[in-house]
Amino acid sequence: MKKTAMIFAFSLCALLFVTGQAQAAANFSGDWKLNTAKSDYGPVPAPDVMTRKITHTDPSIAYTTYQKGQQGEVTTDIKYTTDGKVCVNKTPQGEAKGTAKWEGNNLIVESSRDLGGTELKFKETWSLSEGGKVLTINNHVTAPQGEFDLKLVLDKQ
């Protein structure tokens, strides 16, 4: 009986360990570059160049995005915590308020900003694939003129 109980306890511990490993949150840290061929900017012109440097030590995530394209050059620094608390970020386009929280292995980032009296809302779903080498950000944008979706695919450098 003791042997059966020990085997059961060992099996349960092993199962919990494997489940805990499978449930571990993704880590987005790294240097990323936009893959324009795999991305879809919908009605918005895609940048010629976009890079993102992410530093992620849960619950803190910070990233610097550099974009160059038809709308000029811009660098933006953003910081969130992944616990759903509201964070305020100053950007070249104005103040942005948002939250980040986990849904399984996906990070959901919801934010809003006022651009010249027009409120824009964003709901981003971040996910990793190909062994952590590809970051996909599906972004649902809500504007007074309507809603649209963007898909950014970034390759780890």
CATH number at residue 74: 2.40.128.20
Beta strands per DSSP E along the chain: 30-34, 49-57, 60-69, 72-81, 87-91, 94-103, 106-115, 118-129, 134-143, 146-156
How many domains are there within the chain?
1
Instruction: Provide the pLDDT for residue 21.
Output: 41
| 90 is a domain residue | yes
Instruction: Please state the pTM of the whole predicted model.
Output: 0.83
| 152 is a domain residue | yes
| 7 is a domain residue | no
Whether 124 and 109 have beta carbons less than 8 Å apart is answered as yes
Each residue's pLDDT tens digit, 65-120: 999 999 899 999 999 999 999 999 999 888 999 999 999 999 999 999 998 889 99
| 99 is a domain residue | yes
| 14 is a domain residue | no
CA atoms within 13 A on the CB side of 123: 8
| 37 is a domain residue | yes
Instruction: Provide the pLDDT for residue 93.
Output: 84
| 60 is a domain residue | yes
> In one letter, which amino acid is 80?
Y
> In one letter, which amino acid is 110?
E
